[in-house]
Structure 1
Amino acid sequence: MKKRIGSVAVVVEKREKVSDRINKILSEHADCIIGRMGIPSAEHGLSMISLIVEGTSDQIGAMTGQLGNLPGVNLKSALTSVQVP
């Protein structure tokens, strides 16, 4: 299966309850994360994480599935049609 480039937007409510689990999942899938940016929003009581990813659909799906199952975590992912070797 070919690797594809994409992005994942993660919005976290009540960061203090899930931040350890989020970081563990991201560390386990570090091989498909090209870039990561985290932005806290005290005004809204949220944290946002933006990921640029490169991997197979299965790899990225495994990561987003684990993240999406955490309480208070909402995400959207988009994979481009660009394939990389």
Structure 2
Amino acid sequence: METRIALVGIIVENLDKVEEVNHILHDFGQFIIGRMGLPIRDQEMNIISIVVEADNNTINSLSGKLGMLEGINVKTVYSKAGANQAE
């Protein structure tokens, strides 16, 4: 199965959903390569960047579950990864 590298950008505008966001990210932890979070305290929001390596269905599932939460905005940028890229 072909895997891809993706950057998932998450804007958390509803801070009551932080625990749910972290729970979803924990569930997909085996696919997460890196994570960076920035609190924007004066605007009461958090911005999280996640780099994942997984198949399309897994990446879409992660993005979809996060995007279904109220007050959470998600955008995903994809790039091909792995041995197929060198060919």
List aligned pairs for 1:61-72, cutoff 5 A.
Answer: 61-72=60-71
Q: Secondary structure at the match of 1:66?
A: helix
The runs of 4+ residues in structure 1 deviating greater than 2 Å are none
Residue in structure 2 matched with residue 40 of structure 1 by the alignment: 39
Q: Which has the higher strand share?
A: 1
Q: Secondary structure at the match of 1:43?
A: helix
**Long gaps (5+) in structure 1:** none
Residue in structure 2 matched with residue 2 of structure 1 by the alignment: 2
RMSD between superposed Cα atoms in Å: 1.0
Residue in structure 2 matched with residue 84 of structure 1 by the alignment: 82
> What TM-score, normalized to structure 2?
0.89
Q: Which has the higher helix share?
A: 2
> What TM-score, normalized to structure 1?
0.91
Corresponding pairs, count = 83
Q: Deviations over 1:22-70 (max 9, x none)?
A: 1110000011110001100012221000011100000111111000000
**Long gaps (5+) in structure 2:** none
Identity over the aligned pairs, expressed in percent?
A: 34
